[in-house]
Structure 1
Amino acid sequence: MTIRKRALSVFAATLCTVGLAVLPSTPAAAVAAATPQCVKAIDRLDDGPGGANWMPAASNNSTICYLSQGSVSQAVWALQRALKICYGQNIVVDSDFGPNTKAALVNVQRSLRISADGVYGVQTRTAMKFSRAGLSEPDASNPIYCHHNSPVT
């Protein structure tokens, strides 16, 4: 093999190795790389007094975002609220996406017959219902109901 061919072979092998090292190792990592993290809760209906349709959103107000275990934010609060109120999951609404929130999300994902990976992303957002109410817990003066989200933004 000539020196030139050997150098090209070494270069190609190095390029392949470096290229593989930067690829995400899991599907969740691929989602995270392409989609912003949800960091806040926004009202998707914005139809005046009487309640809000609280949904997780990214910093740019897009509801195309992701949440996973370890996240702590208002977005987690909105997700936990929906899991508890709309799907009857026995979790604490504390804005901390811990193992109990992940287990509750997996339960809901299975019930919706979607990928049950415990990661909140576009597929889960599209399938889930979200709670509609004021900031306080529901009571007789503060009715609550659950419905599918508004159009993707």
Structure 2
Amino acid sequence: MKTLHTLRAKAGISAAAVLLSGVGLSLATASPAAAYAGYCNKSVTRSSALGSVSFVFDAKIPAYNGTMDCYMNQGADSAAVEALQTTLNECYGRSLTVDGIFGPATKTALEYAQGKADIGVDGKYGTETRRGLKWYWDQRYGSRWGCARLGDVIHIGV
């Protein structure tokens, strides 16, 4: 009888350990997503000026309620996807329909751009992708300008 009681106790402890380790794993996998403000639902305009108001350039960047620390992947449907699709077309030579729907073609185009940017290729958009991609910039009071990473100094060729 004592042996049966000992076996039950050991089985209970083992089950509890497995359960707690599973909870620990789920908490550990949830923490990277906590670094993001949320799922990209809009776009924000970032501007860069050179010399005068006639040389102001704007880029639309995916955002969640005003912050650029957001994520998205296949299945997203928003203005944030439109901003990404425009950049993939203009800066990476893709020919996506700019419809705001993150479908298989957008995922494939993003994987291509991630490869060109030499960052992790997973077809998902997040901080590393935002920092690594070149973004499409256009002149506010004129025509198309070109592509540059956020934070890079923009130079105009004369």
Q: Structure 2 vs 1, CA of residues 41 and 134 (structure 1 numbering), >3 Å: closer, same or farther?
A: farther
Q: Is 1:53 the equivalent of 2:59?
A: yes
Report SS of the residue matched to 2:59. Answer: strand
| Larger strand share, 1 or 2 | 2
Structure 1's unaligned 5+ residue stretches are 136-140
Aligned-pair CA distance for 1:14 = 3.0
Q: Is 1:63 the equivalent of 2:68?
A: yes
- Corresponding residue for 1:109? 114
- Corresponding residue for 2:155? none
What is the distance in 2 between the residues matched to 1:113 and 1:74? 26
Describe the superposition over 1:66-91 as per-residue Cα deviations: whole angstroms up to 9, x where unpaired: 11000000000000000001111121
Paired residue for 1:38, among 40, 45, 50?
40
Describe the superposition over 1:14-44 as per-residue Cα deviations: whole angstroms up to 9, x where unpaired: 33344445664xxxx8754542211111101
Q: Structure 2 vs 1, CA of residues 12 and 41 (structure 1 numbering), >3 Å: closer, same or farther?
A: same
- Corresponding residue for 1:74? 79
What is the distance in 1 between the residues matched to 2:64 and 2:111? 22
What is the distance in 1 between the residues matched to 2:18 and 2:27? 15
What is the distance in 2 between the residues matched to 1:10 and 1:23? 20
What is the distance in 1 between the residues matched to 2:11 and 2:133? 56
Report SS of the residue matched to 1:69. Answer: coil
Alignment of 1:124-139 (within 5 A): 124-133=129-138
Report SS of the residue matched to 1:144. Answer: strand
Describe the superposition over 1:106-134 as per-residue Cα deviations: whole angstroms up to 9, x where unpaired: 01111111111000111111111111237
- Corresponding residue for 1:91? 96
Report SS of the residue matched to 1:90. Answer: coil
What is the distance in 1 between the residues matched to 2:109 and 2:128? 16
What is the distance in 2 between the residues matched to 1:148 and 1:107? 16
Q: TM-score, normalised on structure 1? A: 0.75
Q: What is the percent sequence identity of the aligned residues? A: 35
Aligned pair count? Answer: 141
What is the distance in 1 between the residues matched to 2:135 and 2:91? 7
What is the distance in 2 between the residues matched to 1:103 and 1:31? 24
Q: Structure 2 vs 1, CA of residues 57 and 150 (structure 1 numbering), >3 Å: closer, same or farther?
A: farther
Paired AA for residue 15 in structure 1: L
| Greater radius of gyration (CA) | 2
